[in-house]
């Protein structure tokens, strides 16, 4: 009999993001944000971004940094993107190869509209350096 492999929970995956020092952006009221996003920057080359929309929907992408005016939450083109349930989306963004490594995404593609955070939602933002302070309320079971 083959032992069943442990699949990390969403909390485990968010803890891994904390350990890797992702910066967290929450949009909306601090005590009940409408969106929770996280990003990690790979020098001046690109950034990996996660957008947690609900318990059923998340988006992750690797954006190209074209300069200081590049809008992290409104990319036109991305090197990689994934849309799905939060557990799978976080797992996907944590396992893509680092820029420059073998197998790292390198071809530009048009960013899906889900890669954008609406400007009106960004009027109320909180940024926390170095990790998620708290998991989204819907992620805690």
Q: What is the mean pLDDT, run by run of 10 residues, along the chain of 141 residues?
A: 62 77 84 87 90 94 78 93 95 92 95 94 78 47 37
How distant is the alpha carbon of residue 116 from its chain centre?
A: 12
Would you report the helix, strand and coil content of the chain in percent, each value rounded to 5? 20, 30, 50
Phi, psi of 90 (to 5 degrees): -65, -45
Q: Is the pTM of this model over 0.85?
A: no
Under DSSP, is residue 90 helix (H, G, I), strand (E, B) or coil? helix
| DSSP 8-state secondary structure symbol assigned to residue 99 | T
Residue 69 is predicted with a pLDDT of 65
Cα–Cα distance, 81 to 138 (Å, whole number): 23
Residue 139 is predicted with a pLDDT of 47
């Amino acid at each position: 009999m083959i032992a069943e492999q442990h699949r990390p929970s969403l909390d485990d995956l968010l803890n891994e993001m904390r350990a890797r020092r992702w910066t967290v952006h929450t949009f909306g009221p601090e005590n009940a944000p409408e969106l929770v996003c996280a990003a990690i920057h790979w020098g001046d080359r690109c950034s990996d971004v996660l957008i947690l929309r609900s318990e059923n929907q998340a988006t992750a992408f690797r954006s190209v940094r074209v300069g200081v005016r590049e809008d992290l939450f409104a990319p036109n083109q991305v090197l990689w993107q994934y849309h799905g349930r939060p557990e799978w989306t976080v797992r996907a963004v944590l396992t893509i190869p680092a820029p420059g490594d073998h197998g790292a995404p390198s071809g530009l593609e048009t960013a899906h509209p889900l890669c954008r955070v609406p400007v009106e939602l960004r009027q109320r933002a909180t940024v926390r350096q170095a990790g998620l302070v708290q998991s989204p309320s819907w992620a805690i079971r």
